[in-house]
Amino acid sequence: MILNFELSDDLRKQICLSEREEIYYSLPIDIDGQSRYTRDSFLVVSNTKIYVIMQGALERTLAIADCSEAKSHAHVGQGLLTVVHKGTLTVIARYTHGHMGRYAYVARGINILASGRTEHVESNEYEASCPKCGRAIPGTAKCPYCNGENRFASTLKKVAKPYIPQFIGIAVLMVLASVTTLVNPAIQRYLVDNVLLEKEPSKPLAFMCLGGMFLMSAGIVFVNVAKSFYSTKLGARISMDMRNSLFEKLQKAPLSFINDRRPGELLNRVVQDTRVIREFMENSFCNLFTVAFIFVCDVIFMLYINPKLALLSFIPAPFVVMLTVAFRKSIHRRFHLQWHKNDDASSNLQDVLSGMRVVKSYGNEKHEAARFLKYSNEYCRVQTRNECFWAIFNPMLSFLMGAGVFVVTCFGGRDVLLGDMTKGQLVQFMTYTSLLYQYLNWMTQLPRQLTALISSLERIDDILAFDRIPDRENGTVKTIKGQVDFKKATFGYRSYKPVLEGIDLHVTPGEKIGIVGPSGAGKSTLINLLMGLYEADDGLLLVDGTDIRSLDRKSFHSQLGVVLQETFLFSGTILENIRFARPDATYEEVIAAARTANAHDFICRTPGGYDTYVGEKGYNLSGGERQRIAIARAVLANPSLLILDEATASLDTESEYLVQSALSKLTKGKTTFAIAHRLSTLKDCDRLIVIDGHRISEMGSHEELIAAKGLYYELLTAQLQMQKRQEG
Amino acid sequence: MEQKTLTYFESSGGFLGARAGEEEYTRVRAVRLFPFSDPDKYISIRVGSETGEELTVIGDMADLDPEQRKFIERDLELNYFIPVINKVISIKDEYGHAYFHVMTDKGEVKFTINMSGTNVTKLSETRLLITDINENRFEIRDVRALTPPEQRKLDLFL
């Protein structure tokens, strides 16, 4: 995201920078004080001052030293940047949503400058529209339309490289296909001129010509089949390669890369964008060179046979192309509308069907039926109109496509009558003309397909080119004792919106820490940092005195045990699921782990024992059973650092008891971080920390926190009261 | 509904403030309860910038005295920015996005919407709410008030 827009020289002159002043950020302001759109207005932040330029004139200058608490507020349709200036909250800029993200970053930048530091804030977020061409960018770092051409070629080269022999093979087939297509009319001409029109047609020669034509026609079929077969195969191979490299990249990329994108988007890139490439290979690529080759040869042959006639037959071509394009555009619009209406009707149906209980219980059937009828009628109307349009204009278009042939028949016929051209040549010429128009039609579809391909390639390349992958493969391998230190750790999923700020915490090996706080306060975020899923934006996180970033990923994670609220079991057997942490564990070890986790008994009761298939389509385990498998997993890993995130939150009382007792066996002597809403489950903890307002607000033992009568005390009394009410 | 009698004023930073007897709130926010169907009725007045506790609901802005009303209108302006489109200059659709160039009551503007999904919501038969790729909102009060060529341009979304 751009945080420093280019200022024109005129605007630059407005702000007289002093000697040691440098512009840090400059953002457009696009709403003025009268709530109207405005131009040439900017917010400029230097290291010491904030300048507000409205419509080309400097309106306000604030010294950053007088400012604090800069904040970007998201309101409906607009954002406000406010600062506390000399103790008074004041609005300094208004902007539309397109700049909201930028202002949030700059607000953070101003706060950093106000606190006396000088670092720049940078944004890794992508632009929504291309600053150069103004088009919407399909969720990628670079605009595919602006850099498309070059990158397209380079990406294509990268993709095609391992398959050069296959490409050459297909190219040969393409040339063969064009040759057979082009030779056939020549044989026809020979048949007409030199055989049929002779006074005494020679039968053997006629049969030879027929044989030749048959061979060519049959040959074309074979060549086309082979060509399609190999193109399809190659397309499937290339798209498979891309899917694999995408998947590999996604696994390596940090979680933030995945979380930054809308759900489904990455799935689409792996599944749909690779499909676009395959389809292009199948439908367009295999004909691309054939068509180009035939087209060029076709034109040359026509010019060679009869230049005048050739030029005449080209005359309708531009009109036909224009009309086809216009027709297709109109068809596209019409059918898009139809699709829209269909969508309306079906989503209304979906709505009513899934809410049937509500509809029936309120007796609203008639009303809903009327609504559906309306959508349905609307769809019917559009559909009828479109089909009529299609029925009327499609034949007209076909007629136009044949226009070239009419011209040729008319003027060519005259030439034949005048003796300037043989009859056979006319036949050949007419075939070439129809070929020309046929391929012309095909070629007009190409730009659209190419754009879809470029867009897909860009989206794929965007992931493949992502290079900010933390390299922890070569980190330190060491046995962890379990000492954890947070030092002024700050983190936010969006870097402008901190979830945790300045966390300081020292945990000795073997200590049990309970984490408490309201929802959304950052408890799980703290744990995510500890698990190494995210890296702190600021400050340090040390494990046994070593920066977590310099630890070897694999070795660190193998010493980490995790039990989350919802345990995810992979499709596979119970055995495989327990062994997930240590695939080489023996049966004895697995059974011992399951016993410790209070899981052995219920596993024995399942029909397949440890071989019972669980997961998405497998045997249904209860929540408590899943948790105990997760605990068995953790026991097997024998970690020195344990993380329990609401491990017993969604369980009934009996399962909770079983899980709780399994957990207490597991956590013995290990550094443990446990999050819980139900505070009673944290009574064994050595120390409790309360997270509130992005910070650790209270820390101490259960008794100490009760004595302090802070948030913990409030939460505890609230829960006790609720319990009493439930019991009473 | 518990109602407090409030007097409004402009606080030193240009925000809306309110006084209820002895109590003084230097920053309150006005929130429309029916921003589309009845923007000038049912305005909730809430404490703080993050829409905290509700102080009162103004049933109808017309019942306030003009000066008081001005203060609230000023705050609403800071909270809502939904330009009303009154002239469509051009709409170009290209590969899944539509590029609008329109004239609104807040001035001329260009914006882009995603063609897939529900970015054009029908508030009623003739009233449209358009959300662009940046989540800016635009309103068309009455489609039928536009000229026929303009309506045809909008056809894709109706």
CB distance A91–B14 less than 8 Å? yes
Asked if A96 and B27 come within 8 Å (Cβ–Cβ), the reply is no
A694: closest CA among A480, A502, A473? A502
Burial of A301 (C-beta count, 10 Å sphere; 0-12/13-18/19+):
middle
Over the stretch A666-712, which tens digit does the pLDDT of each residue have?
888 889 998 887 787 787 888 999 988 788 888 888 888 888 888 88
Please name every residue paired with B88 in a beta bridge, in sequence order, or none if there are none.
B102
Task: Provide DSSP, A461-483.
Answer: HHHHT-------TTSB-------
Does A134 sit within 8 Å of B133, measured CB to CB?
A: no
Mean pLDDT of the A293-303 span? 86
The pLDDT assigned to A119 comes to: 81
Q: What is the pLDDT of residue A501?
A: 82
Q: What are phi and psi of A186, to 5 degrees?
A: -65, -40
CB contacts, 8 Å: A96 with chain B:
81, 134, 136
Find residues 42-81 of chain B whose CB sits inside 8 Å of chain A. Answer: 49, 77-81
Look up the CATH superfamily of A141-306+421-467: ABC transporter type 1, transmembrane domain (1.20.1560.10)
Give residue B89's pLDDT: 92
CATH topology of domain A567-638: Rossmann fold (3.40.50)
Residue B102 has what pLDDT? 93
Q: Which of A166, A434, A168, A402 is nearest to A294 (CA)?
A: A434
pLDDT, residue A377, reads 92
CA nearest to A285, candidates A277, A274, A296? A277
pLDDT at B1 over 60: no
Q: What percent of chain A lies above the pLDDT cut of 90?
A: 4
Nearest CB neighbour to A80, from listed B78, B112, B133 = B78
Q: Which token pair is A591?
A: 């059974």
Residue B62 burial (CB < 10 Å; 0-12/13-18/19+)?
Answer: exposed
Distance between CA A386 and CA A388 in Å, rounded? 5
A319 forms bridges with which residues in the sheet? none
State how far the Cα of A290 lies from the Cα of A306, in Å rounded to an integer.
Answer: 24
CA atoms within 13 A on the CB side of A115: 10
Candidates A30, A35, A325, A456: best to mutate against B (most CBs of B within 10 A) is: A35
Name the residue facing B81 among A31, A90, A337 (closest C-beta): A31
Mean pLDDT for the stretch of residues A531-544: 84
User: Tokens standing for A670?
Assistant: 């290990």
Is the confidence at residue A579, as pLDDT, over 50? yes
Considering only CB atoms, which chain B residues are within 8 Å of A451? 95
Asked whether the predicted pLDDT for residue A717 surpasses 80, the reply is: yes
CB-CB under 8 Å, B115 with A129: no
Contacts of A337 in chain B (CB under 8 A): 155-156
Contacts across the A-B interface (CB distance below 8 Å): 90
What whole-number distance in Å separates Cα of residue A555 and Cα of residue A552?
6
pLDDT at A563: 84
Closest C-alpha to A440, from A476, A402, A468: A402
Q: Which residue of B has its CA nearest to A379?
A: B158
Question: How far away is chain B from the Cα of A465, in angstroms, using its nearest Cα?
Answer: 24
The CATH code of the domain at A9-114 is 2.30.29.30
With residue B31 as reference, give the H or E element that holds it: strand B28-32
- Shortest CA gap B134–chain A (Å): 5
Residue A91 near residue A80, CB atoms below 8 Å? yes
| Domain map (residue ranges) of chain A | 9-114, 141-306+421-467, 318-416, 483-559+642-652+670-728, 567-638
Which residues of chain A make contact with B94, given a CB cutoff of 8 A? 135
Q: Whole-angstrom Cα distance, residue A513 to residue A701?
A: 10
Task: Provide the β-strand partners of residue A573.
Answer: A613
Interface residues of A toward B, Cβ cutoff 8 Å, are 31, 35-38, 73, 75-78, 80, 82, 88-91, 94, 96-98, 100, 128-129, 134-136, 138, 333, 336-337, 340, 451-452, 455
SS3 state of residue A551: strand
Q: How confident is the model at residue A472 (pLDDT cuts 50, 70, 90)?
A: low
Q: Are A490 and A536 in contact (CB under 8 A)?
A: yes
Two tokens, residue A184: 């056939």
What ipTM was reported for this prediction?
A: 0.90
B39 reaches A (C-beta below 8 A)? no
Q: Which amino acid is at A581?
A: A
Q: Phi and psi of A525, rounded to 5°?
A: -65, -40
Q: Quote the pLDDT of residue B49.
A: 65
Partner-chain contact B107 A37, CB within 8 Å: yes
Cα nearest neighbour of A456 on chain B: B95
Q: Which pLDDT does position A440 carry in this prediction?
A: 82
Mean pLDDT of A588-609: 88
Q: Which of B95, B121, B129, B131 to mutate to test the interface with A (most CBs of A within 10 A)?
A: B95
Place of tokens 């010493």: A559
Q: Which residue has the tokens 């006074």?
A: A199
- Going by the DSSP 8-state scheme, the letter that residue A679 receives in this structure is G
CB-CB neighbors (< 8 A) of A134 in chain B: 99, 110, 112
Q: Which residues in chain B touch residue A90, judged by CB atoms under 8 angstroms apart?
A: 13-14
Q: What is the pLDDT of residue A428?
A: 86
Backbone angles phi, psi at A291, to 5 degrees: -65, -45
| Total Cβ atoms within 10 A of residue A411 | 16
Interface residue B99 vs chain A (CB under 8 A):
yes
Contact A98 B99 (CB under 8 A): no
Average predicted confidence (pLDDT) for chain A: 83
pLDDT value, residue B111: 92
Mutation choice for A interface testing from B27, B44, B124, B135 by most A CBs within 10 A: B135
Residue pair A107/B31 in contact (Cβ under 8 Å)? The answer is no
**Residue A275: pLDDT above 80?**
yes
Token duo for residue A334: 């019409």
Do A455 and B95 count as a contact with CB atoms less than 8 A apart?
yes
Which of B12, B77, B134 faces A35 most closely, judged by CB atoms? Answer: B77
Give percent of chain A above pLDDT 70. 95
pLDDT in tens, A364-410: 888 889 989 998 998 999 899 989 988 888 888 788 777 788 888 88
Q: Would you call A621 helix, strand, or coil by DSSP?
A: coil
Select from A212, A216, A221 the least CA-distant residue to A190: A212
Contact A452 B81 (CB under 8 A): no
B104 confidence band (pLDDT: 50, 70, 90): very high
Q: CB under 8 Å to A724, separation ≥6 — which residues?
A: none
The rounded distance, in Å, linking the Cα atoms of A681 and A565 is 14
Cβ pair B41, B57 in contact under 8 A: no
Which residues of B fall within a CB distance of 8 Å from A73?
A: 49
Q: Which helix (H) or strand (E) holds A573?
A: strand A572-573
Q: Do A91 and B106 touch (CB under 8 A)?
A: no
Tell me the C-alpha distance between A669 and A717, whole Å.
Answer: 30
pLDDT in tens, A24-74: 898 999 998 888 898 888 999 988 889 998 888 888 888 888 888 888 888
Q: What is the pLDDT of residue A260?
A: 64
Q: From chain B, pick out residues whose CB is under 8 angstroms from the CB of A98.
A: 134, 136
Cα dihedral A272, A278, A282, A288 in deg (nearest 10): 100
Q: Please indicate whether, in this complex, the C-beta atoms of B49 and A73 are within 8 angstroms of each other.
A: yes
* Residue with the two structure tokens 């309103």: B139
- In A, minimum Cα distance to B137 occurs at A77
Instruction: Note the pLDDT of residue A380.
Output: 92
**How far is Cα B67 from Cα B59, in angstroms, rounded to an integer?**
17
Are B136 and A77 inside 8 Å of each other by CB? yes
SS3 A686: coil
Q: Is the pLDDT of residue A249 over 90?
A: no
B108 touches chain A (CB under 8 A): yes
Best B16, B50, B106 member to test A by mutation, with max A CBs in 10 Å, is B106
| Nearest-angstrom CA–CA distance, A258 and A34 | 41
Question: What are the tens digits of pLDDT across the range B23-61?
Answer: 888 888 888 988 888 888 898 888 876 657 888 888 888
Q: Which amino acid is at B1?
A: M
Second CATH level (architecture) for the domain A483-559+642-652+670-728? 3-Layer(aba) Sandwich (3.40)
